[in-house]
Chain A
Amino acid sequence: DTAVSQTPKYLVTQMGNDKSIKCEQNLGHDTMYWYKQDSKKFLKIMFSYNNKELIINETVPNRFSPKSPDKAHLNLHINSLELGDSAVYFCASSQGGLSEAFFGQGTRLTVV
């Protein structure tokens, strides 16, 4: 059983398009995150949700809109994709903010 799963694993799209990445966790965790990992491997937090409520929005352009329909899901919608959005996006979950974060397998987004 996959603890944190995100789809798709790969996403290639043209500039200007709108795309979504889905994330689901079956660990019963209250907290979910989106991280962006750039080509230099730096892991930067984008959003943090606790019990479906947005807790952290780390100066992400408003083209990125997270949605949490329930505690087990946190989806990421991106409008008007730009070349600089190319990266690996990781979803993660944890039980509160001070415990192990479990990461999904990542979505490699390539904008051409």
Chain B
Amino acid sequence: GENVEQHPSTLSVQEGDSAVIKCTYSDSASNYFPWYKQELGKRPQLIIDIRSNVGEKKDQRIAVTLNKTAKHFSLHITETQPEDSAVYFCAAATNDYKLSFGAGTTVTVRA
């Protein structure tokens, strides 16, 4: 089955700096890679996703890159703000209705 590894497990950044979270996956059949943000006590919510036919996608301060050959993908948050503090999860899915999550990265933005 799919195994998604995520690093780092915790990340502390100064407000205004960038944050980068990296994930690797094991199943070469995976072709959908979403990123979820979970604030304390809340449900996970999608912030951006990318499919295997795309190498990069950007939405305002958030960008995701995918390297299918190396089987890794990354989340980049620029100009971080205090409201970016949360747990971020990467995930990978194949066609069999199984979305496998990484272990999560706790991001703290210092004011």
Contacts and interface: CB of A to CB of B under 8 A. Distances in A.
Interface of A: 31, 33, 40-45, 48, 50, 55-56, 58, 90, 94, 96-101, 103-106
A112 to B, nearest CB: 21
B20 interface: no
A27 B46 CA distance: 16
B97 A31 contact: yes
Contacts of A99: 32
Nearest to A101: B99
7 contacts: A42-B103, A42-B104, A97-B96, A100-B34, A101-B46, A103-B44, A105-B42
Contacts of A90: 43-44
B109 interface: no
B98 A45 contact: yes
Contact of B95 (A40, A97, A105, A106): A97
Contacts of A96: 97
Interface stretch (B65-73, B74-82, B86-94): B86-94
Contacts of A43: 44, 89, 101, 104
Shortest 6 CB-CB contacts between residues of A and residues of B: A97-B97, A103-B43, A98-B32, A43-B101, A48-B97, A55-B97
B18 interface: no
A49 B27 CA distance: 21
A45 B99 contact: yes
Given A42-B103, A48-B97, A50-B97, A98 B46 contact: no
A96 B95 CA distance: 8
Nearest to A35: B101
Contact of B31 (A31, A94, A98, A101): A98
Interface string B38-55: 100011111001010000
Contact of A98 (B44, B95, B104): B95
A105 to B, nearest CB: 5
A109 B74 CA distance: 33
A55 B4 CA distance: 20
B106 to A, nearest CB: 8
A56 B97 contact: yes
